[in-house]
Amino acid sequence: MVATTKPKTKLAVIQMNCIFCSIVRKTSPAHILWEDDQHMAFLSIFPNTPGFSVVIPKQHYGSYAFAQSDEVLAGLAIAAKKTAQQIDRAFPDVARTGMILEGYGVDHLHAKLFPMHGTGQDSTFKPLSSKVDKFFAAYEGYISSHDHVRADDAELAELAERIRSFA
């Protein structure tokens, strides 16, 4: 009788040309922050703030988060939460870490985590606003969460109706 062993991590789907899959296989370098059997978190090599991190499932999935199953998306969110809490503890000037599921850059499901430097240690809600005054008519390669001018209620009602029609 031949003994077989099951791999600890389900890597049934791996893309050989995917940099994130290479990081999972440990054939590409990464500054890993956290990992378990299903997920991994590492520092971005192109940070726009100290501690900018990426959280991925070890199994390859396409990068559009909302095309994934509830189970896959929930697993990624929980892994991102663990990593974000670790980041919050690591920086004395970070009370919160933001997350986006943009889906561009690498075609492998991932969450991007951004430590919000300058928010202190108290994570209770405080109203903050940005002085950025920009409206995006099209995606420009990044996401911004700042507010813009107050929208017209008639236009909002029309847009809401259009979106509801796709339910």
Of the candidates 31, 39, 110, 117, the residue annotated as catalytic is 110
Distance from C-alpha of 26 to C-alpha of 37, rounded to nearest angstrom? 14
* HEC string for 5-63: CCCCCCCCCCCCCCHHHHHHHCCCCCCEEEECCCEEEEECCCCCCCCCEEEEECCCCCC
Contact 136, 144 (CB under 8 A): yes
Active site residue 31: no
Q: List residues with catalytic annotation.
A: 110
